[in-house]
Structure 1
């Protein structure tokens, strides 16, 4: 097969919980995900990923419980489907302490944040990790989260993105426009720590946020953290085109995924950016062993522990439809609601050749999720990854775990060397902050929307 045109980028995809994507795997006797409350568990993962030269660990999050399926949270609780769930932010410092290069993409739902304090939290993380922090921007999709935070129900889907646009403007002002690069002097002789003339008050008055104050943190290595975004709905793509540097996309085929990626890049160009200002990552589950036969045996072993019920509880909440109320062979149609529209679009609008039913979903969930795993030898897995990069025009992958830690260890030990031998994967880390590793400069370029809120310090590198 032909070679991919670019080197593959890799993130691990995880969550501060027992069951993330492949539901039911915690019941496997070798799985250690029930140790998610232990610092040592996460530090071992971080060391493994850095050994495999992963660009980052993308840490998902959700606020609320999956309580749509069968009208309540019982299935999610029984199967461990992303519950119980701990805070993702607190994982970054403990993993950064045992690594030097690994980046951390932290998911935070801006719908329930105040930008003034949020901006300080991420500046602090960027300082503590020496510039290895990214923010996965989400707006949420669960009514249970809204109720838990004192609201009657979730705000409408497109309206959440309108709020998100304003939230981004506020944090850009704080990160990019409040402190000049040379504001902090640390001058012991003159007893001046900060030059007040180099620090600027931010005044924002908008329909959703009012902020009048100075950013609480001095400039961090990246100022604005690397910006991730995972929404692929029409409104989400527009948001990604304006803001995101790394987008997480999923599609039922390479051709359909390519169309999504091309659309996001077109929207980036419309926002005054370049197509390559956005790197696209597709989610992938890999089961690999030294031979194809061994990999298939491992796949069969894992399947015995999969929970389709957990997968349905997860997906029902994601799309806002109770699949327990459907006839098993009733076609699933797109219903625009205030949940995750892009997830429902993926099986309705973007799968014209297949009629999706609850029975089909159950059959698809071979490992407790809709993700169809790549199963095979290192060479076969590398073939598939290279094909995705070439045919879908993605830049890399978010690798989901199955049985942990062995699934990630196997990928690092078997697939990474195969990719390196083909010249498709780096053999050493580049220096510098996370954005510099991915884009060649530590700060956002001047063509990004955030740059308009800078003052008169030197322009960012192109």
Structure 2
């Protein structure tokens, strides 16, 4: 018997998210993404399957060159059109009871004061089930959409995110002391002003006075996801993340990534077990190998190679043409997501991967196929390599998750690799056993930092970000 894995559904409020072309299948419903009832149906299916969270990806710009054609993006429905997941989560929070609600928001798209307020509101509505996937964006078009001339350099974007989180932690953790909310009817005091503090943050990018307008939500700080695989991304995750979405090509790559990241977390003053790692996977399940092969052929029939190539964002010229597939990746400028390229290099140690390799990797990555028992065997190998959970990528909505519940989950439960019931409490409580950030997390440093009872030296040091 093994320890149960955690399972998220990897989703996006768009027609074509990861597996491009599948929206054209006659039984697919992801093209109905504008209809909130689709998402409510999916959420109920996922709760039936005891999924830990609905993990929503998001973008704020187009894939490809900022000055280039985007005809293929639009034809494919490749994350255009797409809708804001934060708004959708408000509806799902009241339509669900147990499942976590994770959403992506990049540091460009929302001022940290406003973002922190939105998150606290959602955490209140959901009774503590909100998670934030911290991203720094990889799209030049996204930077232009928010008034920047160009996307900041890769590592500089993480410096930006460090300050963004610094502001958010001060608001979530430090602005309101415990016990500030009184609801004193007789005394006419809703809250105690001596326990509510301005944060007076002044940094390289932001100047925020405060106080935080919402009262503390059940988790205060949402559960923190992150998905960077570059050295700077791993360093960022080691400092901030509680859950990391990874996509190495095999268990050996997962072992190397998780070991490095956990060691980095320890160097940052945290514990190795303070971070959970979720591998991105897609399942093809059948009672026989012939059924598996038939399903694989059907998936291939609807797969759009153009969609996958467009999603890579590399090798596309401004006129919409593409570099030859044998172009080596080291010859293609890349200021976007570097983790996938690094993992691809690790999987091909004898040569430099090409653009064609990257496209094929996008098509094949994370596919786990076989009978339910064979899939369970493969998941055990991944767990042994260091993962704690799976981000389940869908081929079609809602069929992928209905099939998971019916044909894979019972075997996982029988062999101890999936839970049989939800634990009560917040999302963080379900996953880690506590509602709020642990004391060794940098966000926890701001608790009590702004109160008048604290020593001036500590308050000044924490406000300065020390």
What is the TM-score when the length of structure 2 is the normalising length? 0.92
Deviation readout 1:389-435 (Å, 9 max, x if unpaired): 11x21001000010221111101111111110001211111011000
User: Residues 65 and 140 of structure 2 are in contact (CA less than 8 Å); yes or no, is this contact kept in structure 1?
Assistant: no
Alignment match of 2:367 (pick from 365, 368, 373): 373
Deviation readout 1:134-164 (Å, 9 max, x if unpaired): 0000010100111222221111111111111
Alignment match of 1:401 (pick from 394, 415, 437): 394
- How far apart, CA to CA, are the structure 1 residues paired with 2:361 and 2:176? 51
Task: Show the 5 A alignment for 1:217-256.
Answer: 217-256=214-253
- How far apart, CA to CA, are the structure 2 residues paired with 1:37 and 1:289? 31
Cα offset, 1:289, TM superposition: 2.9
Report the equivalent of 1:139: 136
In the alignment, structure 1 residue 80 sits paired with structure 2 residue 77: yes
RMSD, matched Cα: 2.0
Deviation readout 1:6-59 (Å, 9 max, x if unpaired): 321100001000001000001111111111000110001100111011110110
Alignment match of 2:413 (pick from 420, 428, 432): 420
Report the equivalent of 1:449: 442
- Secondary structure of the residue aligned to 2:95 is coil
Report the equivalent of 1:438: 431
Report the equivalent of 1:274: 271
User: Residues 69 and 324 of structure 1 are in contact (CA less than 8 Å); yes or no, is this contact kept in structure 2?
Assistant: no
User: Residues 311 and 370 of structure 1 are in contact (CA less than 8 Å); yes or no, is this contact kept in structure 2?
Assistant: no
Report the equivalent of 1:387: 381
Report the equivalent of 2:458: none
Cα offset, 1:320, TM superposition: 8.0
Deviation readout 1:98-145 (Å, 9 max, x if unpaired): 221100111000123211111100000000000000000001010011
User: Residues 81 and 311 of structure 1 are in contact (CA less than 8 Å); yes or no, is this contact kept in structure 2?
Assistant: no
Closer/same/farther in 2, CA of residues 321 and 127 from structure 1, 3 Å limit:
farther
- Secondary structure of the residue aligned to 2:46 is helix
In the alignment, structure 1 residue 259 sits paired with structure 2 residue 253: no
- How far apart, CA to CA, are the structure 2 residues paired with 1:434 and 1:111? 26
Task: Show the 5 A alignment for 1:38-437.
Answer: 38-68=35-65, 71-316=68-313, 324-333=321-330, 337-353=334-350, 355-364=352-361, 369-390=363-384, 392-437=385-430
- How far apart, CA to CA, are the structure 1 residues paired with 2:241 and 2:316? 25
- How far apart, CA to CA, are the structure 2 residues paired with 1:354 and 1:29? 41
Deviation readout 1:201-242 (Å, 9 max, x if unpaired): 111111111111200100000000000000111100000000
Closer/same/farther in 2, CA of residues 361 and 275 from structure 1, 3 Å limit:
closer
- Secondary structure of the residue aligned to 2:190 is strand
User: Residues 157 and 337 of structure 1 are in contact (CA less than 8 Å); yes or no, is this contact kept in structure 2?
Assistant: no
User: Residues 111 and 160 of structure 1 are in contact (CA less than 8 Å); yes or no, is this contact kept in structure 2?
Assistant: no
> Structure 2: where are the runs of 5+ without partners?
452-466
- Secondary structure of the residue aligned to 1:284 is strand
- How far apart, CA to CA, are the structure 1 residues paired with 2:351 and 2:301? 26
- Secondary structure of the residue aligned to 2:115 is helix
> Structure 1: where are the runs of 5+ without partners?
458-462
Cα offset, 1:385, TM superposition: 1.3
Cα offset, 1:311, TM superposition: 0.4
- How far apart, CA to CA, are the structure 1 residues paired with 2:64 and 2:155? 22
- How far apart, CA to CA, are the structure 2 residues paired with 1:389 and 1:372? 14
Alignment match of 1:28 (pick from 25, 28, 31): 25
What is the TM-score when the length of structure 1 is the normalising length? 0.93
- How far apart, CA to CA, are the structure 1 residues paired with 2:439 and 2:302? 50
User: Residues 281 and 398 of structure 1 are in contact (CA less than 8 Å); yes or no, is this contact kept in structure 2?
Assistant: yes
